[in-house]
Structure 1
Amino acid sequence: MTITVISVDDHSLRQRIDIEDFDDLFADAPAIVGGDESAPDPHDYFDMALGACKAITARMYARRKDWPLEAVRVEVSRDDREERHGRYTLEVSLTFEGDLDDAQRTRLLEIADRCPIHRLMTDATVAITSRLATASGA
């Protein structure tokens, strides 16, 4: 799958994000760096990916175990004050709704901490290669 990010205009920092077969998403920058705050910023999407992955992982596990999990609520709070020094802290609070006992809730929390995005953010070495695209029509 390819994700394409395209500037909306030549004056703002707002970007349109095209992902195959989905409605377009948008990203913008915070006002403090010159953005209009018209959409989530890239940090929001990073944090959002973690929350969504934890919720999906917990629901998949509960479904497989046939547990009465009705809903998952994930709140992700960031502390990015030390980001420039290599420290980006996310605090995640999970609520599992349904007729679950304490052992099931504890197990769901453990499982949520094993979601692929959590592991990617904490255990993986991510290699990124950037290159100039060839000019169209050249």
Structure 2
Amino acid sequence: MTDEVKVSIGKEKYKTEVSINQHHLIADEPTEVGGADLGPKPTAFLLSALGTCKAMTMRMYADQKQWPLESVEISLSSEVVKSTQQQTTYIRCIIKLYGDLDDMQKERILKVGDKCPVQKILSNPIIIESNMLQ
């Protein structure tokens, strides 16, 4: 099933409404750059997509293996480094696994999390095609 994602912005500076199927979210920019800080900025949504996907993938794998994973906490941050030839974005994920897991189980869960669908998308070339309807 493909998600129906719609984004709209009106005259209210930077406040953007996001509809994903039956869910409604607001994105905005912080006040220091002219927004009203009514919701997360777009890059935070990107990081949250990666973090939630990794956490869900880890949970699914541990459940499948019947391993005692109690919870997963992931802190994400990003940094853009520009050079004269290219721009590189570094996304850092600090992961805490809770539960009575041995080192092998923790390492395996971590590796499986790196194979989540969102990380696969972000790790491969991306082509964005924009078309205007008349």
TM-score norm. by structure 1 comes to: 0.86
- 5 Å matches for 1:1-138? 1-7=3-9, 9-22=10-23, 24-82=24-82, 85-123=86-124, 125-134=125-134
RMSD: 1.9
Q: 2:79 and 2:31 mapped to 1: Cα distance? A: 18
Structure 1 pair 53–83 and aligned structure 2 pair: CA distance change class (3 A): farther
Deviation at 1:37, TM superposition (A): 1.9
Runs of 4+ displaced beyond 4 Å = none
Q: 2:89 and 2:37 mapped to 1: Cα distance? A: 21
Q: 2:83 and 2:13 mapped to 1: Cα distance? A: 24
Output one character per residue of 1:44-93: Cα deviation in whole Å (capped at 9) or x when no partner.
Answer: 01111111111001001001101011111011022135399421111101
Structure 1 residue runs of 5 or longer lacking an equivalent are none
Counting matched residue pairs gives 131
Deviation at 1:20, TM superposition (A): 1.1
Structure 1 residue matching 2:127: 3-state secondary structure: coil
